[in-house]
Amino acid sequence: MTCPPGASERLFAAMRHAVLAPAKRLRPILAITAYRSLGGSERRIYPVAAAIEMLHTYSLIHDDLPCMDNDDFRRGQPSAHRKYGEATAVLTGDALLTLGFQVIGTIPERRKGADAATILEAVRILAAAAGTGGLITGQSLDLSGSARTGNLDDVGRIHRNKTARLIAAAMDTGALVGGAGMETRRRIRDAGTLAGEAFQIIDDVLDRETGRETLGKTPGKDALNDKLTFPALAGTEKARETAAKMVTEAKSMLPEGATTGLLRAMFDFLITRAS
């Protein structure tokens, strides 16, 4: 990620700090895996996968801000606002979100034979998942929710919007670029939604059970801030049990065939991970 002539070196340093930090890269990997399961070669999906990671990283930067979750660490290093200041962190998130869509939008110019209609549909899918129909609404619900007054239905709404929609969109986009038909895409998208909900349940369990060195961010903040989470309402054992059932159902939704074996393995990872 090179700073263009005339652009802010500080801004691009903050962008690199956030997006290139050690991380699971789960969403772009799921996009690539969905694409591969349909017989595609990775190279064609790489720009879309990179854009998805930029979009996800923007959401993490803003999530860590003092006006949101106020977290000093992310991905095992100081969060963007701690290292570069709050104003630069806001701009860094804005820049990554915008750059992600720019990267996707310029694929037809940079890749011979790229289908402009497919790229436009990828932009629509990701914008819908990141906006008021997904991530932004999920973050709003998360900020206003309380473990003292909420219920598991409320938790489900938060998880579907804040986390699952973007995971499902990443998989749907991979399937789209891989040439999948509408029914295959629907099955992959629905499986991704359920797996994404399971991922968030385990994320909230790990916040209770894992130290900062492993987790890469400050643990225990959900309980401290009275966050509305599954383990807060039902306990960690029930949370893990529910996430496992969700993943089993998600795997059953995937199209049949050996080519989806890697996706199934990825779903298993979502609930067995330690960070």
Banded model confidence at residue 256, pLDDT cuts 50, 70, 90: confident
Is 21:3 a contact under the CB 8 Å cutoff? no
- CA–CA separation, 130 vs 124, rounded Å? 10
pLDDT at 106: 84
What is the spatial distance between Cα 48 and Cα 210, in angstroms, rounded to a whole number? Answer: 32
pLDDT in tens, 167-193: 999 999 999 998 999 999 999 999 999
Q: Is the pLDDT of residue 258 over 60?
A: no
Indicate the DSSP class of residue 43. Answer: H
Q: Say what the pTM is.
A: 0.94
Give the tens place of pLDDT for each residue, 187-240.
999 999 999 999 999 999 999 988 777 777 787 888 888 899 999 999 999 999
Catalogue the E-assigned strands of the chain: 73-74, 77-78
Q: Within 10 Å of residue 169's Cβ, how many Cβ atoms?
A: 30
Average pLDDT over residues 70-98: 96
CB atoms within 10 A of CB 79: 25
One-letter amino acid identity for 272?
Answer: T
Alpha carbon distance 200, 210 (integer Å): 15
> How many Å apart are CA 257 and CA 255, to the nearest integer?
7
Per the CB < 8 A criterion, the answer to whether 219 and 211 are in contact is yes
Distances (CA, A) of 192 to 27, 45, 103, 168: 10, 18, 24, 4
96's tokens = 């990554």
Question: pLDDT confidence of 113, banded at 50, 70, 90?
Answer: low
Domain 12-272 of CATH type 1.20.1560.10: no
Residue 110's pLDDT band, with cuts at 50, 70 and 90, is low
Q: Name the amino acid, one letter, at 150.
A: G
Identify the pLDDT of residue 222.
85
